[in-house]
């Protein structure tokens, strides 16, 4: 607490040195003072010399006491220095102060005048009492003072008054017995005259303010023959508590003003250079927008606590806490003060204050904690910009908070990784409503608290999966996650989400469990296979990527397990999102290739709306009625040439089918089927994959919308020789001839329809 005669002023503190202490100390003669100095608690600083020196007229700083055991003659028997390396502080205590101790000092680490020091001004003033005929009073800010004003009996009937001296020895009247009172003293000051025979009156000031400090003159009678007495009033401000914090860290102010104001609104304000105090927060829910997203406050059992995180260098300065009915700063009592120093030469881990995500995407937030508190409970909360404020918990290291389950089901998880002072919070399936501020918390050291702002920007998620997959009991389902090429070198993973976290699923090489993961690096597909699905397999599954130990992006898919006969099956349900994009792109490219290849035929006259919409690829059907509906003349005029071409085609097919057959890949789309060599495609990128020259074609069934639909995929192989050019099989040559025949027949039919005479 502040000692009698102490006062404090607004001092601009230099931040160039990491050493910090009280900028100014006022003490009363005969008392003692304690100077606490902070230093960065590095291993070097903890063992370095600490000193307290006095600056001389030539700029030299003469050591008075040091941690090496040195004590000057002036300080012998009345001073000591104690180092506290665990907290990075040392304290200098000086007793029996005299006015000669007033002056400029430095507290520092290492060698004098080497820069690792802090300037301190010490002023020692006379003690209370009568000094050179002047009455000295010293009272605390917000307190009450009763000043005695004696006079002679000759001035008993005359007017009593009190004035305050200002510049140029001018004295401004404050109050008198005739009823006058200066406005700034209204409701706070009064004169008491006890009876008509007393030769003393009292000047009483309540709720002392800083401006009340100064010299007064008590007077009875007029200026020429009146009795006067001089008064020196010192309004003592509380000595600020020193608070040392690193840039980017957090700090807490606990304001406990006592039971007399337990039900009165409290405020915290920051003093500026203009000597005004700007509101930071109060118990009425008001908060300064300068601290938006960085401040948390609570009022429990009469203690008003304010946390400020992500500290900036402009946060340094003097903070005051007081009580007032409207919650606004005012000069009142009781009051608490803190002097905050922000160390810019910090080792506190840097991290982004803003993270950006897109609708449907995800963010991974890195949260710091004290590495010595590995077992502390980690938490994540959402900061509320409301009158009541607060930060409701969303997830902890023990799992999702129960009352947040509905809103964050399948979307939120907290990992202890990467560890060593950092944990990760992942939020996916982002919406525009997720934008805002979030806090990283632990139940340990509050200085490691931090906040991050989440901004939702335009864009598309990098990872793509179906939103929902329906599968029947006992079936096998494969979930496909597509990732862009920029994630090629990242580690891919699948995990199953629960309210306790997201448990990683074993890879194909790790075991033969029900769920296995495999990743085709060339196609950038991450496939999760669930075998013999049970009801317990239902739920949210996450696909994600990691760079080292750091999580990057994730995406979620919900697997719904149904009784047999109630769903469309697992294969048909996986055609959404990423798998659908890859397949449809492949089909479109196959479609374009077929039109250019005379061996294939595209039925562009299909009447089935589903086939027309789907762009189906089909072999021609000799029994098709696509050419019907014309006039009888058209039929007769085309019959003879058609029969001749048909006979020729049958002859060619018979000869070619007798040759050696070779395996080919088969692709079937909807109810049509044809043979296509994988070499007909421009390259394997038609399937959404990377170039895979020399890959062997392997047929694999994949749904496109029906149970009898398939698509060809490629399987990675490694070849050391140049792949040989594939020879065309007899069946391929037969199909070429057959397709050419159909194309010619179709063209002839089209020409005849345009005009029988031309045919």
Distance (Å, rounded) from C-alpha 453 to C-alpha 431? 15
Residue 305: per-residue pLDDT: 94
Q: State the Cα angle at 327 between 324 and 328, rounded to 5°.
A: 90
Residue 432: per-residue pLDDT: 96
Hey, how many other C-beta atoms are within 10 angstroms of the C-beta on 426? Answer: 21
739's CB contacts (< 8 A; 6+ apart) are 598, 599, 600, 601, 620
Instruction: For 312, list phi and psi in degrees, rounded to 5.
Output: -110, 165
* Cβ atoms 137, 231 nearer than 8 A: yes
What are 481's strand-pairing partners?
A: 526
Structure letter (DSSP) for residue 20: B
Residue 573: per-residue pLDDT: 42
Residue 677: per-residue pLDDT: 35
Write a three-state SS string for 496-561.
Answer: EEECCEEEECCECCCCCCCEEEEEECCCCEEEEEECCCCHHHCEEEEEEEEECCEEEEEEEEEEEE
Residue 126: per-residue pLDDT: 77
Residue 496: per-residue pLDDT: 95
Residue 139: per-residue pLDDT: 83
Angle between helices 632-657 and 730-754 (to 10 degrees): 170
* Cβ atoms 327, 318 nearer than 8 A: no
Own/partner pairs, 713-719, CB within 8 angstroms, 24+ separation:
713/687, 714/678, 714/684, 714/687, 714/689, 716/520, 716/521, 716/522, 716/692, 719/694
Closest CA to 125 of 250, 5, 211: 5
Omega into 418 within 30° of 0, i.e. cis? yes
Residue 629: strand, helix, or coil: coil
Residue 637: per-residue pLDDT: 52
Omega into 325 within 30° of 0, i.e. cis? no
Reported in sequence order, the residue ranges of 548-633 that DSSP labels E, i.e. its strands, are: 550-562
* Cβ atoms 578, 520 nearer than 8 A: no
* Sign of the alpha-carbon dihedral angle for 583, 584, 589, 595: positive
* Cβ atoms 295, 383 nearer than 8 A: no
Residue 732: per-residue pLDDT: 53
Instruction: For 123, list phi and psi in degrees, rounded to 5.
Output: -125, 125
The pTM of this model reads 0.65
Distance (Å, rounded) from C-alpha 353 to C-alpha 351? 6
Hey, how many other C-beta atoms are within 10 angstroms of the C-beta on 531? Answer: 15
Local mean pLDDT, 10-residue blocks, the chain (759 residues): 37 62 86 92 91 90 94 94 93 94 94 87 82 85 89 91 86 93 92 86 90 92 88 81 91 91 92 84 92 92 92 93 89 81 83 94 95 93 85 94 92 90 95 96 93 96 93 92 88 93 70 53 79 94 93 95 70 42 38 35 32 32 38 48 69 58 36 34 38 37 34 33 43 56 56 43
Structure letter (DSSP) for residue 308: E
Residue 744: per-residue pLDDT: 60
Q: Quick one: tokens of 576?
A: 């959404």
């Amino acid at each position: 607490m502040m000692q009698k005669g102490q006062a404090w002023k607004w001092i601009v503190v230099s931040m160039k040195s990491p050493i910090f202490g009280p900028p100014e100390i006022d003490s009363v003669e005969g008392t003692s003072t304690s100077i606490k100095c902070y230093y960065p608690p590095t291993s070097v600083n903890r063992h370095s010399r600490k000193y307290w020196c006095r600056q001389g007229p030539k700029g030299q700083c003469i050591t008075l006491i040091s941690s090496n055991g040195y004590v000057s003659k002036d300080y012998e028997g009345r001073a000591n220095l104690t180092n506290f390396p665990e907290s990075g502080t040392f304290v200098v205590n000086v007793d029996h102060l005299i006015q000669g101790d007033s002056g400029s000092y430095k507290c520092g680490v290492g060698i004098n005048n080497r820069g690792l020091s802090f300037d301190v001004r010490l002023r020692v003033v006379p003690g209370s009492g009568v000094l050179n005929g002047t009455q000295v009073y010293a009272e605390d800010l917000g307190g009450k003072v009763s000043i005695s004003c004696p006079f002679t009996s000759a001035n008993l009937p005359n007017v009593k008054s009190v004035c305050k001296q200002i510049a140029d020895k001018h004295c401004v009247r404050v109050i008198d017995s005739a009823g006058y009172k200066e406005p700034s003293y209204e409701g706070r000051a009064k004169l008491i005259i006890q009876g008509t025979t007393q030769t003393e009156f009292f000047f009483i000031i309540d709720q002392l303010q800083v401006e009340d400090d100064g010299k007064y003159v008590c007077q009875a009678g007029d200026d020429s023959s009146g009795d006067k007495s001089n008064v020196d009033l010192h309004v003592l401000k509380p000595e600020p508590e020193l608070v040392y914090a690193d840039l980017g860290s957090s700090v807490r102010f606990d304001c406990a003003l006592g039971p007399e104001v337990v039900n009165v609104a409290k405020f915290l304000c920051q003093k500026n250079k203009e000597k005004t105090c700007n509101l930071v927060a109060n118990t009425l829910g008001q908060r300064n927008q300068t601290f938006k997203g960085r401040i948390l406050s609570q009022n429990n059992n009469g203690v008003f606590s304010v946390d400020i995180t992500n500290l900036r260098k402009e946060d340094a300065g003097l903070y005051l806490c007081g009580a007032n009915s409207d919650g606004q700063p005012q000069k009142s009592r009781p009051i608490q003060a803190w002097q905050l120093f922000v160390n810019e030469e910090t080792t506190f881990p840097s991290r982004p204050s803003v993270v950006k995500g897109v609708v449907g995407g995800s963010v991974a937030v890195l949260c710091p904690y004290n590495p010595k508190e590995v077992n502390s409970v980690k938490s994540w909360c959402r900061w509320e910009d409301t009158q009541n404020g607060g930060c409701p918990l969303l997830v902890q290291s023990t799992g999702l908070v129960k009352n947040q389950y509905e809103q964050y089901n399948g979307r939120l998880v907290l990992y202890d990784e990467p560890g060593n002072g950092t944990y990760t919070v992942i939020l996916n399936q982002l919406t525009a409503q997720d934008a805002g501020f979030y806090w990283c918390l632990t139940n340990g050291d509050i200085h490691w608290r931090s906040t991050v702002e989440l901004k939702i920007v335009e864009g598309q998620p990098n990872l793509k999966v179906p939103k929902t997959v329906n599968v029947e009991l006992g079936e096998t389902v494969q979930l496909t996650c597509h990732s862009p090429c920029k994630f090629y070198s990242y580690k891919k993973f699948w995990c199953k989400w629960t309210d306790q976290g997201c448990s990683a699923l074993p890879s194909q090489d790790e075991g033969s469990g029900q769920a296995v993961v495999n990743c085709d690096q060339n196609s950038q597909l991450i496939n999760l296979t669930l075998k013999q699905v049970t009801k317990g397999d239902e739920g949210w599954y996450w696909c994600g990527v990691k760079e080292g130990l750091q999580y990057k992006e994730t995406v979620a898919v919900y697997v719904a397990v149904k009784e047999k006969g109630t769903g469309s099956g697992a294969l048909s349900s996986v055609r959404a999102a990423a798998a659908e994009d890859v397949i449809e792109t492949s089909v479109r490219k196959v479609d374009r290739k077929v039109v250019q290849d005379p061996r294939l035929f595209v039925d562009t006259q299909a009447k089935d709306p589903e086939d027309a919409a789907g762009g189906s690829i089909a072999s021609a059907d000799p029994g098709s009625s696509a050419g019907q509906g014309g006039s009888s003349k058209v039929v007769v005029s085309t019959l003879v040439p058609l029969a001749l071409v048909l006979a020729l085609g049958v002859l060619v097919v018979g000869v070619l089918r007798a040759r050696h057959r070779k395996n080919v890949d088969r692709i079937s789309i909807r109810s049509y089927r044809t043979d296509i060599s994988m070499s007909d495609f421009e390259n394997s990128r038609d399937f959404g994959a990377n170039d895979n020259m020399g890959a062997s074609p392997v047929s694999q069934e994949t749904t496109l919308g029906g149970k009898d639909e398939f698509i060809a995929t490629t399987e990675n192989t490694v070849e050391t020789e140049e792949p040989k050019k594939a020879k065309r099989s007899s069946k391929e040559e037969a199909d070429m001839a057959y397709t050419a025949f159909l194309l010619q027949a179709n063209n002839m039919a089209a020409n005849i329809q345009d005009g029988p005479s031309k045919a």
